[in-house]
Amino acid sequence: MVGEIGVGMIGHAFMGAVHSQAWRSVHRFFPVALTPRLAVLCGRDAARTRDAAARLGWAAVETDWRAAVAREDVQLVDICTPGDTHAEIALAALAAGKHVLCEKPLANSVAEAEAMAAAAEAAAAKGVRSMVAFNYRRVPALGLARRLVAEGRLGDIRHVRAVYLQDWLSDETAPMTWRLRKDKAGSGSLGDLGAHIVDAAQWVTGQNVSGVSAISETFVRNRPSDEGSGEVTVDDAALFLARFSGGAIGSFEATRYALGRKNAMRLEINGSRGSIAFDFESMNELRFFDGDDAGAEAGFRRILVTEPEHPYVGAWWPPGHLLGYEHTFTHEVSDLLEAIATGSDPAPGFAEGLQVQRVLAAVEDSAAAGSVWTPVGTAGPSGNGRAEMTGAAVS
Amino acid sequence: MVGEIGVGMIGHAFMGAVHSQAWRSVHRFFPVALTPRLAVLCGRDAARTRDAAARLGWAAVETDWRAAVAREDVQLVDICTPGDTHAEIALAALAAGKHVLCEKPLANSVAEAEAMAAAAEAAAAKGVRSMVAFNYRRVPALGLARRLVAEGRLGDIRHVRAVYLQDWLSDETAPMTWRLRKDKAGSGSLGDLGAHIVDAAQWVTGQNVSGVSAISETFVRNRPSDEGSGEVTVDDAALFLARFSGGAIGSFEATRYALGRKNAMRLEINGSRGSIAFDFESMNELRFFDGDDAGAEAGFRRILVTEPEHPYVGAWWPPGHLLGYEHTFTHEVSDLLEAIATGSDPAPGFAEGLQVQRVLAAVEDSAAAGSVWTPVGTAGPSGNGRAEMTGAAVS
Amino acid sequence: MVGEIGVGMIGHAFMGAVHSQAWRSVHRFFPVALTPRLAVLCGRDAARTRDAAARLGWAAVETDWRAAVAREDVQLVDICTPGDTHAEIALAALAAGKHVLCEKPLANSVAEAEAMAAAAEAAAAKGVRSMVAFNYRRVPALGLARRLVAEGRLGDIRHVRAVYLQDWLSDETAPMTWRLRKDKAGSGSLGDLGAHIVDAAQWVTGQNVSGVSAISETFVRNRPSDEGSGEVTVDDAALFLARFSGGAIGSFEATRYALGRKNAMRLEINGSRGSIAFDFESMNELRFFDGDDAGAEAGFRRILVTEPEHPYVGAWWPPGHLLGYEHTFTHEVSDLLEAIATGSDPAPGFAEGLQVQRVLAAVEDSAAAGSVWTPVGTAGPSGNGRAEMTGAAVS
Amino acid sequence: MVGEIGVGMIGHAFMGAVHSQAWRSVHRFFPVALTPRLAVLCGRDAARTRDAAARLGWAAVETDWRAAVAREDVQLVDICTPGDTHAEIALAALAAGKHVLCEKPLANSVAEAEAMAAAAEAAAAKGVRSMVAFNYRRVPALGLARRLVAEGRLGDIRHVRAVYLQDWLSDETAPMTWRLRKDKAGSGSLGDLGAHIVDAAQWVTGQNVSGVSAISETFVRNRPSDEGSGEVTVDDAALFLARFSGGAIGSFEATRYALGRKNAMRLEINGSRGSIAFDFESMNELRFFDGDDAGAEAGFRRILVTEPEHPYVGAWWPPGHLLGYEHTFTHEVSDLLEAIATGSDPAPGFAEGLQVQRVLAAVEDSAAAGSVWTPVGTAGPSGNGRAEMTGAAVS
């Protein structure tokens, strides 16, 4: 499959802007067989959407996402809206035979995510592809981390430490937003930040989270609001302990109250043969401890992940010429376009998004039930992953 | 009270060596009213104890700790033995009217620790002092952290992240030691490393841990042993979530399997107005984020904690001339000698040691009970801190 | 002035690729009045140039730079060729009334640079703009550094430490390239890397280099070559001491043999009231020591330069979402387009490029003359900056 | 040779205090055949010297250094006075057959240093040992650096970057001290700080500095003074470029005006096969880049130099339990005592101290002569290392 592929993007806020740059740039750097055409941008407000389309480079606008999805010049639907609309749009797009890229978290509930995963599986049988936008998989340093684990350089994984720390709610007078409303966002830091570190930890280690014990907290329960209620109905912070399918144990924390930390998505992994450490605030670096090094010469290496041998890097600049946040999205759409062109399933697919959703649900369940150990569900169509939870206990 | 004070030290392994350097050096740097006299060293093997005494500078030796405690030239007993003998020795010393410095953790059980705390309280009424050797309180950088919190520079404390990472068990072929036997050590990484971070987190924040949810793991259950069983009967790693008395939430991890981390005792605290971060592997540094700094100029400051205004530092070298691990013990005995001389209670006393012990017990209880939320006991004489645990649940 | 502006770019190697991304993206993020149209790409080889144009997004191709410059659809000429052709192309473009963006170093000799500066001055009188592509001025962290200096936050500048370290020649078997031929590149590490740090140090401090003492070295004098001579005729490394017009003293080093350093363009400045430190390998960070902070709380702050208040950052992503190397070029062309639109002179202009060239010439002169102190020339049309050098001596 | 050795120390300020701790502690950690006896402390003021002796642990006091040197109970003279008295005391001590440890810089002039080196050579023939107190050679991390170079792990050394940055003069109102008087201190930052980095760079690389080009500066020429003149007669900062005997090139900087840097004695070395980087403000760490590592996994390793295999470390604590500034002196006297006991010459001897002195003299000469390239003297008894300077030119 070669030629152009028409993209329709729903939503044009932060995610819309960064996705647009990826769609505009990907074929300038990666040898994709399919060149994206920025066909239509969809937003609720006509004027603002027209402005955004002009600025971001989209050829047309729609104000009804159903119309956008239905357009003949759209073969791929890119969902950049809040989580409460993901399921509806994705299901419609897949039903219409359109490929789908959906922002994370996949949905606001396990039930929605299950429906989406089922629809994606059915669509895949017809050659329609779908992908969840866990862009941190496309950070070259994390790709290198995964490669080292896969090659056995870390040995057996024992410890995982994953935190995602921001501080934009640290100020109690920061205003209300849709991200603090459960009906819109599904959850708070858990879905927004926690989803990223769950996916990243699972992807890098190659192990799934199998059970959790959790607490969560809402530090500020009312915030100034111009429109409607200022009641915060989501978690401000969520912390959980976890066991992984391969025997590792770990801890996770998501918060927007870590004053001074702007985007500290950190991942530390210790294995029997090596260790790695990563912090997105230094996203071009991976720390690697090679247990095979002679004792007197061993130490965490600060690998500047800008070498041509590193994932995705060969497409860009010489060593030491850093990449930024937006490039992870360029990598993401490159992989998606490649999958569509070659007729293979991109990763992470909706099934993987569902698995993350089940972890998030187990976290919420455990936090609501006195932190009791809560297995992560693996149920079929009827289950929401919560049925098997009763009576669980570990270690 | 001025003049000399005779010290009798029980045990002469790692802790004995570092305590000896503190006793030999303290009056060379700090204006203590009482000068320590290294009166007697006690160990079970006569020949090895004599060698150690000669090397470490002790005037006499004993092989029976009761004899050492009873000596007329001993006014202060320094307990550097494994945890299973702490209670017995401390109780005898206090009964004999000797001041006591006891290595951490205070005891191997809450019951023992309660008895010790009660004895210490009774002894204090008679002017006999006792102290637990939580030496990390004497790291200047952590002293500065506590000062910043106490001055309100961090505002309300919201997050605590405390880990203590070592890697000396990472190698599965590392041999059996008493530290891996429950009867000797009480617990594994939890008592050895976890006790330090619990005490440090509580001391720096000024808040107590009020409840926990925990998991623990033993990665390697049998190790090579020359003498007796190689069965590991303690935890290799312990992780727990916690709530603090002042509203903060946090996570803790103690492990000896974090390959590449040699002594990474780390503490991160985020408040509403400021944040700090510390890592013992860079023990002369404190990271401090001052939320009052203008936004465009704010950032974590790397404070080199070697200025004369910093805790303990004025006694030592000019700025930038680093201190090491051993100096924390010199500070510790300086504070103890000062308390004895002035007739005040040193900190941390045995009651604080008991409180830490109760946290450790709650962690073990929670880990054994499916991670269920477990309040930290505050019981009187009959309770071991576990009675109130039933029915607990939180947020 | 609003609307489109046609760009003709000469050269399509590394610099051509990164400039193209800037031309394609600038109006998506910055509110430029002039939207760049990628009119024509010029290269010597027709087939390769056509390929590059398709990949990089240029509408047409030329193989003769004179034709490209002359095209009616070109109003701005972007010179991305090796240094030996800068003067010729720039002079022709300015003569044709085309705006010019010229890669650094401005030229291969002071004489060329003087001619270019004179032409630029004449052209400016007619509304034709010219700019040297010292892109490091557009790193937000260095912009913040300059702002802090300008606001007096560093007080009187005393020390400058500037190095630019790469390692791609460290391997003695790395092949010959045009960058190692004096006739093509003018100089080696000095012009390639040294030019950047001279410009950056001068720009951030607001002081010019007034004199130097230098040494240079060529470590590997012959390299494998497929085409012609493998004789290296430029410096591999150049080091110099410097005095600045405002009283500061400093040291500079440029090398491609610093094994392990990939793009370590570092700048440290100490003033009477504050200090800064920067390393391009962590380009989103600025270290700032505020001498006004209380002594016990002072320390170098790691400012993550990703706040909306920071230079250029407001156009991009939320705090903590890093920018990369390429963004400095987007900023650069944004500033150039703004200057053209508003009829003002962009900075750095050719006169500033000439001043840097004179520093480089003084460095070469000093290195050739036993490191003798060598003032930086400020001569008029006839001088090459070398006339005043004799008899100089300082401090 | 076993038993005790009586030490007489001249001077009891900063250096006296740290040397005392070393003399008191060395035999507690190192298996020295000779145990130091702190026989006599010498200072000009009787009362203050008695106080210092009591505090620091010296058995007796003298107020006349000649008397101290002459005492029968003194076999080793430790010179901790300002530089203007080093030669006189050392010559007298050697003449009296006493071993000598002399603080750095060895002397205030090349002539003095030559006399001292000659006397030391003559004394050595009679079994009398002498050593210069370049304590940074005893930093384990620098010892490891030297070992890596010696083993060829860095290959051919190409670049040296050495700075020693402090900031205690940064404040213009800081008072006058003897360290700012040429008659007392010989030079300013050059002798105080520059001597250390010259010695360290030479020792680690195994190459001598063969020539220099220098500038120096005095930023503040008058300072508040209670006693006599406040005129600063030494350099505040000295910078120089250097060539080494083995082909490396490098830069050096010594200053006390680097605001925010407390004791940043940094050394970076790049070779054809590896690189190292060190900063005394993190003295327990060495950064090592192993060029033999696979490209995608290479990076500067942060080696925590606290392993038993590291120089001197086996005598101390477990891995990750840091050493401090004072320990370098304990290592130093251990080495000296070992040399005396075994009848070998300790390093660095006075001849090495003289070589450093000649580098410092060349720096001063070059700075006074318009930075002209100045070879480092290697002359015999009559030369001060300045004779061969004329006509030099390099590169």
Q: Which residue has the higher pLDDT, C145 or C391?
A: C145
Give CA–CA dist C48/B180, Å, rounded: 68
Contact (CB<8Å) C302/B300: yes
pLDDT of residue C348: 98
At B261-297, the pLDDT tens digits run 999 999 999 999 999 999 999 999 999 999 999 999 9
Which amino acid is it at D109?
S
- Scanning B137-176 for CB atoms below 8 A from A yields 158-159, 161, 163, 165, 167, 170, 172
| Site from A154, A156, A158 to mutate, B interface, most B CB atoms within 10 angstroms | A158
Contacts of B54 (CB under 8 A, 6+ apart): none
B286 DSSP β-pair partners: B303
| Residue C394 in this model has a pLDDT that exceeds 50 | no
- Out of 3.40.630.10, 3.90.245.10, 3.20.20.210, 3.30.360.10, the CATH code matching C140-282+284-323 is 3.30.360.10
| Cβ–Cβ < 8 Å for D255, D236 | yes
Burial pattern C206-217, b for ≥16 Cβ within 10 A else e, equals ebbbbbbbbbbb
Short-list D304, A198, D353, CA closest to B260? D304
List Cα–Cα distances, A24 to A30, A52, B243, in angstroms: 12, 14, 48
Give CA–CA dist A276/A377, Å, rounded: 29
Asked if B302 reaches chain C (Cβ–Cβ under 8 Å), the answer is yes
D160 DSSP β-pair partners: D250, D269
Contacts of B88 (CB under 8 A, 6+ apart): none
Using DSSP bridges, classify how beta strands D130-132 and D99-102 pair: parallel, antiparallel or unpaired.
parallel
Average pLDDT, chain C: 94
How many helices (H) and strands (E) are present in chain A, helices listed first? 11, 15
Asked if A318 reaches chain D (Cβ–Cβ under 8 Å), the answer is no
A50 DSSP β-pair partners: none
Task: Read off the DSSP letter of residue A192.
Answer: I
Give CA–CA dist D132/D121, Å, rounded: 13
pLDDT of residue B379: 57
Short-list D42, D77, D80, CA closest to D63? D42
Q: What is the DSSP string of D70-86?
A: H-TT-SEEEE-S-GGGH
| Residue D227 in this model has a pLDDT that exceeds 90 | no
At D68-84, the pLDDT tens digits run 999 999 999 999 999 99
Task: Read off the DSSP letter of residue A315.
Answer: G
| Cβ–Cβ < 8 Å for A45, A63 | yes
Comparing CB atoms, the residue among B166, B318, B325 nearest residue D322 is B325
Comparing CB atoms, the residue among B296, B301, B302 nearest residue C309 is B296
List Cα–Cα distances, B321 to D189, D263, D331, in angstroms: 17, 7, 16
Comparing CB atoms, the residue among A290, A296, A299 nearest residue D302 is A299
The residue of chain D nearest to residue B327, with distances taken between CA atoms, is D324
The sheet carrying A3-10 orders its strands as A60-62, A34-42, A3-10, A76-79, A99-102, A130-132
Contact (CB<8Å) B260/A217: no
Give CA–CA dist C121/B361, Å, rounded: 79
pLDDT of residue D73: 98
pLDDT of residue A2: 67
Comparing CB atoms, the residue among B27, B56, B319 nearest residue D28 is B56
Token code pair at residue C162: 């500037």
pLDDT of residue B255: 98
Contact (CB<8Å) C253/D161: yes
How many helices (H) and strands (E) are present in chain D, helices listed first? 11, 15
Q: Three-class SS of residue D372?
A: coil
pLDDT of residue C378: 78
Which amino acid is it at D255?
T
Q: What is the DSSP string of A232-280?
A: --S-SEEEEEEEETTS-EEEEEEES--TT-SSEEEEEEEESSEEEEEEG
Helix (H) or strand (E) holding C111: helix C110-124
Cα dihedral: B361, B362, B364, B367 (round 10): 180
Q: Give the side-chain half-sphere CA count within 13 A for D148.
A: 30
Asked if A184 reaches chain C (Cβ–Cβ under 8 Å), the answer is no
| Cβ–Cβ < 8 Å for A246, A149 | no
pLDDT of residue A229: 87
Residue that has been written with the tokens 């363009």 in this structure: C265
C115 Cα to chain A: minimum distance (Å)? 32
Give CA–CA dist D205/D292, Å, rounded: 19
At C115-165, the pLDDT tens digits run 999 999 999 999 999 999 999 999 999 999 999 999 999 999 999 999 999
List Cα–Cα distances, D127 to B8, D95, D97, D103, D118, in angstroms: 43, 12, 9, 21, 14
Give CA–CA dist C111/C358, Å, rounded: 10
Helix (H) or strand (E) holding C287: strand C285-290
Contact (CB<8Å) B309/C290: no
Contacts of A177 (CB under 8 A, 6+ apart): none
Residue that has been written with the tokens 């895949």 in this structure: A124
pLDDT of residue C1: 60
Contacts B58 to D, Cβ<8 Å: none
Residues above pLDDT 70, as percent of chain B: 95
Cα dihedral: B148, B151, B156, B161 (round 10): 20
Q: Give the side-chain half-sphere CA count within 13 A for B317.
A: 22
pLDDT of residue A146: 98
Give CA–CA dist C300/C303, Å, rounded: 9
Work out how many CB contacts closer than 8 A connect A with B: 153
Maximum Cα–Cα distance across chain A: 65
The residue of chain A nearest to residue B288, with distances taken between CA atoms, is A260
Comparing CB atoms, the residue among B259, B299, B366 nearest residue A270 is B259
List Cα–Cα distances, D325 to B302, B326, D330, D345, in angstroms: 19, 12, 10, 25
pLDDT of residue B391: 34
Please report which confidence band the pLDDT of residue C196 belongs to, taking 50, 70 and 90 as the band edges: very high
Maximum Cα–Cα distance across chain B: 65
At B226-260, the pLDDT tens digits run 878 899 999 999 999 999 999 999 999 999 999 99
Token code pair at residue A246: 């391969």
Short-list D345, D395, D302, D361, CA closest to D132? D345
pLDDT of residue C295: 92
Average pLDDT, chain A: 94
Give CA–CA dist D130/D127, Å, rounded: 10
C63, burial (CB in 10 Å: exposed 0-12, middle 13-18, buried 19+):
middle
| Residue C385 in this model has a pLDDT that exceeds 80 | no
Q: Give the side-chain half-sphere CA count within 13 A for A184.
A: 11
Token code pair at residue B348: 């941390």
Mean pLDDT of A366-375: 98
- Measured from the Cβ of residue D213, the count of other Cβ atoms closer than 10 Å reads 34
Mean pLDDT of A197-203: 98
Which residue spans within chain D are E strands per DSSP?
3-10, 34-42, 60-62, 76-79, 99-102, 130-132, 157-165, 209-217, 237-244, 249-255, 264-271, 274-279, 285-290, 300-304, 374-375
Mean pLDDT of C34-41: 98
Contacts B301 to C, Cβ<8 Å: 293, 297-302
Contact (CB<8Å) B310/C290: no
Residue that has been written with the tokens 């140039």 in this structure: C49
Contact (CB<8Å) A281/C304: yes
Contact (CB<8Å) C319/A283: no
Do the interacting molecules here have an ipTM over 0.90? yes
Contact (CB<8Å) D274/C255: no
Quote the pTM value: 0.96
- Which chains border C (3 or more CB–CB pairs < 8 Å)? A, B, D
Contact (CB<8Å) D322/B327: no
pLDDT of residue C228: 80
Residue that has been written with the tokens 């030369």 in this structure: D383
Residues of chain C with CATH 3.30.360.10: 140-282+284-323
Q: What angle do CA C55, A136, B255 make, to 5 degrees?
A: 145
Contact (CB<8Å) B303/C298: yes
Task: Read off the DSSP letter of residue C376.
Answer: P
CATH 2.30.29.30, domain A3-135, yes or no: no
| Cβ–Cβ < 8 Å for D102, D131 | yes
List Cα–Cα distances, A280 to A83, B299, C144, D300, D316, in angstroms: 24, 16, 22, 19, 37
Which amino acid is it at B151?
E
Please report which confidence band the pLDDT of residue A378 belongs to, taking 50, 70 and 90 as the band edges: confident
D375 Cα to chain C: minimum distance (Å)? 11
| Site from B275, B288, B297, B307 to mutate, C interface, most C CB atoms within 10 angstroms | B297
C277 Cα to chain B: minimum distance (Å)? 13
Residues of chain D with CATH 3.40.50.720: 3-135
List Cα–Cα distances, C196 to B15, B314, C105, C133, C328, in angstroms: 54, 44, 8, 10, 13
Contacts C288 to B, Cβ<8 Å: 297, 299
B283 Cα to chain C: minimum distance (Å)? 15
